[in-house]
Structure 1
């Protein structure tokens, strides 16, 4: 177990072998990596464990820099385990470079079907038994998709949990993929209205950029293609605390004037590429809609639900906006099949992604009956009008999990855990302990 020191912390690496398919424990195994962070000078052996489940899907665990952010608050009471969920970070990777070794698109899709929350929870159980033993439970903190995983954990292995903390991640237990996006597009539209109210000059600037891209799609430095639809996808950032401001600064830097007139600047295209490329987290795109798949809820699978539902919201039609006088609306957390044509990191996975979209047999991720009889203390932060997770779904789920306590707030956006300097985590800890 390699260990090293950072300011105020001792960091130890852990690796475990887990079955690719936990229903076949004697079959193929993959590796899962986790990083333990403990406060320097404390006897970490006496502290309870806090497992952190990252948002996503497909994002690696945080890379700590000493006692910073929410980790600083957590280290007052816990030793923290930061997991690279299967397929990400230092765990056995799954991306355009590794997946061809699995075989054709059908083989790749079958492999990736094992990378959802149910498998992640069972991986965590292997880690828990390795680090704590069979009978000792641990605490779990789930952010966004990590909260979805935490609810799966409560459904499948509540005996392993001493307490659960969730931020921006209470999923709809019986919500279809189409329902997710029918609720999402109006929230995204409200975030657009707020952005343009804050930065009214962006209305014309965004129209100018979109018009240029409609006439001439532009190659990004990394080889991707910037089309109007891809440009609209920058709205993903509107659900974070500083996203609207970041988007404004990006838009205001869009043009330079050269011999041929106004063109999109290199700096703009470079920054756009950083926001749009899925090179660092391809599983986010490949598995995003699969995180909502449950056969008992929607027997027909996911089927590119965001793309299907988008047609019900004509306000997001860029061509119609340009033909009129209104603003071009950005989209949000939605994955579309055209992304597998414009992003070089996704293009080799297009056929596998299509097969996953067509897949009809997705095991259920939640057990409503078991949740209704829950005995584990649970506290959840629900962010009012969260762009990424529907507040109504979250509150319905909160009512469905016995004993769950909620904190509903509009003080923070979806990234409240990260930007609050430990305040969100502190409130959840006090809430789950009954101190509030």
Structure 2
């Protein structure tokens, strides 16, 4: 009987997804069916609905809609153009210059906006046509854009790291934010190396070297956007304000910056508020449904059984981390990042902490791992956005995507087995 809840949970979730049920409803309904194994219909239904509501009752979660609104303001506020111009002066003359510009701009845009989809949308629509005009294949441009967009989910401020903090039961958001910098930049560098080698092999055009005066001018233009990172992260790390308060400051700053750039006006605000509200509703429903599944998992003692099984498999941290990474890579193919973090953190975190791993380090491993899932079908949201903007197909993008995908996996395993890549910065600040 002890394996029945696990079987019900997995089979019902997979079947619901297979028939096209939205992810959030698949999670909630499979949680309900799992509880029916142990308790009657009415208490099971009441518990799931109650957990969806109480799962959202958290002050820390208030940061997510505010960061989403901030990202929407940044996306519409002319930030992308200025970041691209700055990146162009830095790496435009290197092999695969436009691809490198895409990666650096996506890293900056993703970090500022906190959204991989916003970064993929902005960079794809602006740089995609320009890359094609310069002789780059449409599929290569889409592949670069898709993989680069995910780096902003590791480089703070990141909504997913806030979700992980909630799921882990108290990992410091400030420590997680600082821990994301080196892994995020490392992943970006690996993508740049692969893109440069691919571009050189294909003989794509190389741009002209920019003069120092132009580098300085584009830097000054982009500086107000980049300064937001200092304000938000600096305030959180120094303890001046919490992550939730920082998200409100980010909204105000991005709004004023959009007005300063004359890219945002009051008549545009209703559309911006509506778009951010739509995104917030989707994310919050996913979080609420995932919290109900987490409770169902705990009630049926599934995390403890999985933990016992993994620890019985081996007590070697290298082996356990390898197994967890492979499982998360598989999970990322079928599940969106937010529910995956909420559901699998309570399952895997006790295992890794029993082996002496830091919860902050594991948070970066998990988020970096699930970023790869955003680039893979059938649920990879960033993959579909990137392919849609490039007006191409997934089948055509697979070939140039594969080496970039491998670069991300190599970065993941380096971060997994070299904890200092994640923990060095937080330790410098005593976190």
Q: TM-score range by the shorter chain?
A: under 0.3
Higher relative contact order (CA 8 A, sep 6+): 2
The alignment's TM-score, normalised by the length of structure 2, stands at 0.26
* Structure with more of its chain in helix, by fraction: 2
* Structure with more of its chain in strand, by fraction: 1
